[in-house]
Each structure stands twice: as C-alpha cells, then as structure tokens.
Amino acid sequence: MKIGLIGLGIMGKPMAKNLLKAGYDLTVFDLNQAAVDEVVEAGAKKAASGAELAANCELVLTMLPNSPHVKSVVLSPGGVRDSARPGTIFVDMSSINPIASREIAEELAKKDIEMLDAPVSGGEPKAVDGTLSFMVGGKQEVFDKVKPILQKMGASVVLCGGIGAGNVTKLCNQIVVAANIAGLAEALMLGQKAGVNPETIFQAIRGGLAGSTVMDAKAPMMIKRNFKPGFRIDLHIKDLNNVMDAAQSVDSPTPLSAQLLEMMKNLHCFGEGGLDHSGLARYYERLAGTEFGVPAE
C-alpha cells in the first residue's frame, strides 16, 4: 500500500521514520523542508504538495496542529478531498475538535473517501520508539484495514466508536494528563517547601496508588527543571480549548479542565507556552517563590 503523510513536526517525523523501518512505501509533505529532507534521507519519497501526495497514495495520513490546519489541507480547493481518488482512506492522527472530524468525514464521503480520526497519546518519546496509543473513530471495516499500519507506530490501537470518537477519547485523555501533571507539581512543591527532597517523594510514592505513566515521565523533568518539549503547553492549551467546546456542546461539566486551562494560559502569558507541559511546575514555582531543586528558606 502506498502511504502519504502530511505533517512532519515533533510527532510526525519520528512516526514517518517508524513506517519506513517497517518497510512501507511512504511519501511525505511538509512546509518545513529540513524535516522533509531528513525523512527523505531515511527512505521516503517527497511530494511537491499535499495535493500531489493525495493523488498518488492509497492511504493519506495527517499529523497537524489543530482543526483549521486539517480542514485547510483536506477541504481547501485542490486539497486531499479534490485530489484523492475514490476508495482512498484518510486517517487524521492530529488532535482536533471531534465536531471538525465529523464535518471533514461528511465532506470526504461525498467523494467516496473513507476517514478515521486517530489521535495519539505518548508524546515525542513514544513517537520515537513506536509505542504510542491510538484512539480511533470510524467504521470497523476501515479500521481493520489500517490497524496493522498504525501498530507500526503504536503499542495500543483501539477503535472507540464512530467518527469523532477518537478525538473525544483523546480529549478525555488530555484532561487526565493535565490533572496528573498539575497534581504532581503541587505535591512535589509542597514536599520541597516542607523540607522533603522531591526525588525522595517521587521514589516513595511511584509504586503506590499515586503512581502513573505521567508521574514516571514528568517527575524527573520537574525535579531537574528540564522542560524541553515533548508536548508543548501551547498544544495542551489547544486541546483544553477543544475540551471546553466539546463539553459545552453536550452540556457536560468541566470545572477542573477550566482551571487547568487558566493555569496553562498563565504560563503562555509569561512566554512559556513552548515548554513541555511538565512546565506546569513553573506555575507552582512562581506561586511558591521557590524553584525545584533549590531548598526553601
């Protein structure tokens, strides 16, 4: 199967490399030519445009920042909708508003193009080692065709329901991740201010009920004050804004998500939106007047 991938950012680039390692015929397109050149050097073909890519691939994948970017690539004149042949499968691996996923799928269906929404969780480290979690929405028979390909990039690939269900599930995931990160930062700051080493707290509680994948990934980053982005705060703001939109559309209460969104927006206002979302620790450092690793007076 000829596969095309549009979007070679922090996540898309290592995902493309994993498809190449698995032996797939891959064509790529991105506005960042340095990223394209790197993936081409690894064995991919280069398309001059998204339209050219869609016209020559049986499976088109996108990994883009948000709903407007996906809509532009797919629905703009000369985009995927207009260029792909009937029978093409389109899989959007971006994290976008589920309402947008349904709108895009409806337009593609008019051209006999099947769609799955398949956002991922795991950040850059899991994109690199091919152990992402895919949350997928769409038809069972389309999912069955694509699942073996997604498994080359992820350790978990789950069909969650019809179109949009993948992105609904991803929004749920992002609530839990943000709440875990904020709770972790709050706990470690309390410990440090009370005179207990945050590293000791982390090692003591990680094996109990409080332990989680989030804790194992983010506690060391907070303690070392290493906020190199695997998943940027600004992207998590985007996801939480989508949470609020989706929650409003179904009248679901989200008071915790609203508070988490305000905390991350505060970091953005301080010019820290490009930090990893473990940078929520900076919010607590500012409130506490203490940096992690620096003993409280």
Residues labelled as active-site residues: 170
Question: DSSP letters of 60-71?
Answer: EEE--SSHHHHH
Whether the CB-CB separation of 81 and 75 falls below 8 Å is answered with yes
User: How far, in Å, are 238, 267, 274, 275, 277 from residue 271 at the CA level?
Assistant: 16, 7, 8, 9, 13
Cα three-residue angle 87-52-144, rounded to 5 degrees:
30
Neighbours of 277 (CB within 10 A): 28
Q: Alpha-carbon distance 195 to 218, whole Å?
A: 21
Question: DSSP letters of 103-170?
Answer: HHHHHHHTTT-EEEE--EESHHHHHHHT-EEEEEES-HHHHHHHHHHHTTTEEEEEEEESTTHHHHHH
Q: Alpha-carbon distance 280 to 240, whole Å?
A: 14
Q: Report which DSSP code applies to 53.
A: H
Whether the CB-CB separation of 138 and 108 falls below 8 Å is answered with no
- The token duo for 158 is 């789950």
Whether the CB-CB separation of 217 and 229 falls below 8 Å is answered with no
Question: DSSP letters of 238-287?
Answer: HHHHHHHHHHHHHT---HHHHHHHHHHHHHHHTT-TTSBGGGHHHHHHHH
